Chains A and B, each alone.
Chain A
Amino acid sequence: MTIDRVDIPEVAPTFRFQWEEVQDCYVVLYPEGMVKLSGSAGEIMKRIDGKQSIDTIIKDLETTFSENNLEDDVIKFLEVAYDTGWIRNKK
C-alpha cells in the first residue's frame, strides 16, 4: 500500500501493543503469539494512538531523538506494520 503522511494510524483491535517488563521491550500480542519489537520499532508503535498523523509521529521522533531524516526508516516499519495487520488507518 502507499503510505500518506496525513494518514492517522491506530493499532488494529485484533492486536495488542504493550510494554513487557521481563522482556525489557515493547511487544505486539495476538492470538497465541507475541512479537518482540526492537527499540526503534517500539518508539514508533508507542506513538500510534489513532490521534496523531504519520507526519506528526515522524516530527516527534526527530525531535525526541535529535535526528533528521527518520522518514525512510519510519515508513519502512509502517509498511510492515500495515502489512501484518498490526495497524490500520483510522476511519
Chain B
Amino acid sequence: MTPAGSETKSDVKPPLWLLAELTYRCPLQCPYCSNPLEIAKYQNELSTEEWVRVMQQARKMGAAQIGFSGGEPLVRPDLEELVQEARHLGYYTNLITSGVGMDEARVKRLKDAGLDHIQISFQASDEELNNFLGGTKTFQHKKEMARMVKAYEYPMVLNIVIHRKNIDQIRDILEMTVELEADYVELASTQYYGWSRINVDQLLPTREQLAKAEIVAKEYQERMKGKSRIIYVIPDYFENRPKPCMNGWGAIFLTIAPDGTALPCHEAGQLPIDFPNVKDVSVEEAWKDSPGFNHFRGFEWMKEPCRSCDEKEKDFGGCRCQAFMMTGDAANTDPVCDKSPNHQALLDDVERIGKLAKEESTKTTEEKPLVFRNMKNSKKFGAKETEPTT
C-alpha cells in the first residue's frame, strides 16, 4: 500500500483519461518534444491485442477519453483498428498527430472507424521556421491535412507549441488558425521537460516577449469568440503558483507508454519510482494498487511548505517531475511556487536565460545549437541521468 497511507483502495477514483502513447517513432525531430530523452530504449511496443486489452480494462474502470498519441501515432499501421475498437467501447477518441503520414484515404478510414477528433500540431506559421523546427519539410502538407480534417467534419484542434523562436510570430500563427477554421487553438507554451529541458536556454521566451504575445492572444480570443476557442498557457516558470499538475497524481490521468509502462503522467518515467507494466498486471491493479501510482496520492507525502499550506488542495504542490528536476527530490514543493525555498533559484535561472536571449539578439554571443529529438541524440543524451540544474 501507499507509503503515505492516506488512501485505501476504495477511495481511489477511476481514471477518466487514457493517453495511449502508441509509439515513440516520429518523422519529426522537434527540439521541444515532451517525450522522454530515452526514446531510443523503447523498442518493445505493445501489440494490437495488448492495446485492445488495455483499452477494454481502462474503459471498464470508467475512462471516457482516449488520446492516441506518440511519437507519431500514424506510424502504427493498426491505428484504424485501435480507433474502431476504442469507439466501439464507448470512448471519445482523440488523435494527436503531426499530420505527417496522413492522406485523404486515411482521414476517411479513420472517420469510418469512428474517430471523434483530430488535433494537428504546427511548429510555426511560416514554412521555413516550421520545417526547421520539425527537422523536415512538412508545412504545406500539414495545411492540406488541416483542410481535409475540416472537410470530413471532425472538430479540429490546432496545437502550436510556443517558445522563443516563434513567439514573435503569434499574430501570424493565429491568422493561420483563423484561415484553417480551427475549432480550438492551443497555444501551448513549451513547458520544460524531456527534450525542451535540455534546450531551455534557446527556447524560453523573455518576459517582454510574453507580455506582447499575451496582448495579441487576448485580442484574438475576443475576436474569435463563438467561432474558435483559443487557449493560451504561459510557461509556468513565469508563474508564482504551480499548476495543479495532472489534477493530482493518479487522480484522472493514465498514460501508457509504448512498451506498456503505466504512468500517472507522460513525464513521470524520469522519476526514481518503479511503475507497473500492463504486460504484467491489469490496468486496475496498476492504477489502484501499485506503489508507483500511490506514491503521491493524497496529501500525506507532502513536505513543508506544502503540508500546512491552505492551497494544497488547489494545486497539489505542483509538478512532481519539476520538483525532482530542480531540487533532486520529487516530494519537494514545485519551485514554481514562490513559497518554495527553491523559487529564487528558478527566478535566477529565468533571468540568466533572459540575458542570454538579449545577447543573442544583439549578436554579442554565439547561440548554442538546438538538440533535435531523434534516435541518435536519444542514445547520446538519454543514456545519462539528467542532473538537477538549479
Contacts and interface: CB of A to CB of B under 8 A. Distances in A.
A34 B117 CA distance: 14
Given A14-B183, A31-B155, A22 B62 contact: yes
Nearest to A12: B155
Contacts of B184: 31
A84 to B, nearest CB: 10
B357 interface: no
Given A22-B62, A29-B65, A34 B153 contact: no
B96 to A, nearest CB: 9
Interface string B1-17: 00000000000001010
B92 A14 contact: no
A13 B153 contact: yes
Given A13-B153, A16-B92, A23-B62, A32 B183 contact: no
Interface string A1-37: 0000000000001101010111100010111111000
A14 B155 contact: yes
Interface residues of A, number: 15
Interface string B60-91: 01101101000000000000000000000010
Interface residues of B, number: 19
Contact of B64 (A14, A27, A31): A27
A20 B64 contact: yes
Contacts of B90: 18
B157 interface: yes
B95 to A, nearest CB: 10
A34 B155 CA distance: 15
Contacts of B153: 13
B169 interface: no
B94 interface: yes
Contacts of A31: 94, 116-117, 119, 155, 157, 183-184
A31 B65 CA distance: 9
B65 A22 contact: no
B117 A22 contact: no
A20 B117 contact: no
B64 A34 contact: yes
Interface string B136-151: 0000000000000000
Interface string A49-83: 00000000000000000000000000000000000
Contacts of A18: 90
A23 B14 CA distance: 10
B67 A32 contact: yes
A32 B65 contact: yes
B74 to A, nearest CB: 18
A20 B65 contact: no
22 contacts: A13-B153, A13-B155, A14-B117, A14-B155, A18-B90, A20-B64, A21-B62, A22-B14, A22-B62, A23-B62, A29-B64, A29-B65, A30-B92, A30-B155, A31-B94, A31-B183, A32-B65, A32-B67, A32-B119, A33-B65, A34-B16, A34-B64
Task: Across the A-B interface, give the 4 residue pairs with the lowest CB-CB distance, nearest first.
Answer: A22-B62, A14-B155, A29-B92, A31-B117
